[in-house]
Amino acid sequence: MGSARISELVIGGSRANWAQVGINFSRDGVFAVGGLVLRIDELLLPGLHSWSLSNIGSAVSSIDGIPTTQVPVRTQLAAVESNEFVLKPLGVDHVVVNTPDLERTSRALHEATGAELKRIRDAGNGMRQGFHRLGEVIVEIVSAPSISTGSASLWGFVLNVADVNEVATFLGPDVLSPPKPAVQKNRLIATFRGAVGLGVPVALMSDI
């Protein structure tokens, strides 16, 4: 069995809001991002609800409370034709998981996927971040005093783009925050405004 990878992230909410930022879902509700797809289900409340992973045991249905399904590695989907602005992400840089117990969630992710905990970072004010890698995607597990007790949950994700300044100039500051230096060296990051109504925290990153 190969190494585990994220094949799909399932989102709830309105596809019209995502179209405002250039993510135009197909008729079947999918949008290809590198080696995985975003799938929208408009019957679900806004938010990031579940993921599908490849190369994991078929018995896995939850990773510390995160709904999880197994899917085969999928081939690249064809691009959706659109006359509107189309965001062309190079891939997903990282997916953020919130948890009240970093070690518990990290252990559950390792048991399900075999992915080792790479490191833990103290981000200050009681916030800690643990990092695993699933294929090309980093899973960032975040714990903080503000996170309520209970299960882990998917929170948001960051997309890699060729030039975040170019996207920010096109969309404007009311849609995407002005790019600023990221924690990662020699990289810039910008975040979609909450008023856009994605229902999921999403940021864009590119090299400086």
Least reliable range by pLDDT among 31-40, 82-91, 118-127, 183-192: 82-91
Compute the average pLDDT of residues 57-77.
81
Compute the average pLDDT of residues 115-143.
95
Helices (H), 23-163: 102-113
- Considering its fold, how many domains does the chain have in total? 1
User: What separation in angstroms does the CA of 22 have from each of 12, 115, 123?
Assistant: 17, 32, 32
Highest mean pLDDT among 2-6, 73-77, 109-113: 109-113
- pLDDT in the model for residue 177: 97
Compute the average pLDDT of residues 77-105.
85
Q: Is 192 exposed, middle or buried (0-12, 13-18, 19+ CB in 10 A)?
A: buried
- pLDDT in the model for residue 85: 84
Asked if pLDDT for residue 76 goes beyond 60, the answer is no
- pLDDT in the model for residue 119: 94
Cβ atoms of 11 and 40 within 8 Å: the answer is yes
Cβ atoms of 201 and 155 within 8 Å: the answer is yes
Asked if pLDDT for residue 78 goes beyond 90, the answer is no
Taking every pair of Cα atoms in the chain, the longest distance, rounded to a whole number of angstroms, is 46
Instruction: Please give the mean pLDDT across all residues of the chain.
Output: 92
Enter the DSSP assignment of 72: P
Compute the average pLDDT of residues 137-152.
95
CATH number at residue 133: 3.10.180.10
Asked if pLDDT for residue 75 goes beyond 60, the answer is no
152-207 pLDDT tens trace = 999 999 999 999 999 999 999 999 999 999 988 999 999 999 999 999 999 999 99
Domain extent, residue 112, equals 5-207
Cβ atoms of 43 and 29 within 8 Å: the answer is no
Q: Indicate the pLDDT class of residue 71, thresholds 50, 70 and 90.
A: confident
- pLDDT in the model for residue 59: 86
18-61 pLDDT tens trace = 999 999 999 999 999 988 999 999 999 999 999 999 999 878 99
Percent of the chain having pLDDT more than 90?
86
- pLDDT in the model for residue 82: 59
How many residues can be counted in the chain?
208
